[in-house]
Structure 1
């Protein structure tokens, strides 16, 4: 059962919304290839607000994701795509269905 999660909040720069949307869509196969990432969701929260929510069974899996290819690409493109630095929160899951 998943016990650990990450919630990343992303605010696109004006005019970069489509690029952020495409970046997130293109990240899906990378997330799917990560053996310790149980679930991975890309979210659009508003016109320029996006997010990523992913879950893990172990702390090690969560840490591996934080140093993985999506995280590297996200940070490499942060100044180009986002109006503020991505906010990444460690989440502990208390109930999962």
Structure 2
């Protein structure tokens, strides 16, 4: 059951949009192997605005995922983003997830 999530918003530098998109695509396997996220999405919200939404069964999994991955996102962001990522911890009120 999904109970908590993360919503991470980033603003790509205009000349780095394609690189941000490719980087997010390459992260899917890392997240899958980690096994903490129940669902994980990389989203494009606008021409240069992206977000990651992922959800977890519990806060411990969310924190472990964040601890393992946020430093790499922040480091990559120095060259790719106009500002540091914004990270929101969210509570999931209801969900429809395959297999639940």
Q: Distance in 2 between matches of 1:94 and 1:79?
A: 34
Matches within 5 A, 1:66-77: 66-68=66-68, 70-77=69-76
Give the TM-score normalised by structure 1.
Answer: 0.94
Does residue 28 of structure 1 match 2:28?
yes
1:6-45, Cα deviation, whole Å (9 max, x unpaired): 0000100120000100110000000111222111100011
Structure 1 runs of 4+ off > 4 angstroms?
Answer: none
Residue of structure 2 equivalent to 1:60: 60
RMSD between superposed Cα atoms in Å: 0.8
Does residue 85 of structure 1 match 2:84?
yes
Q: Distance in 2 between matches of 1:15 and 1:36?
A: 32
Q: Per-residue deviation at 1:71?
A: 2.1
Deviates more, 1:82-91 or 1:71-80: 71-80
Q: SS where residue 90 of structure 2 aligns?
A: strand
| Structure 2 unaligned blocks of 5 or more | none
Q: Distance in 2 between matches of 1:31 and 1:78?
A: 18
Q: Distance in 2 between matches of 1:74 and 1:58?
A: 22
More helix by share: 2
| Structure 1 unaligned blocks of 5 or more | none
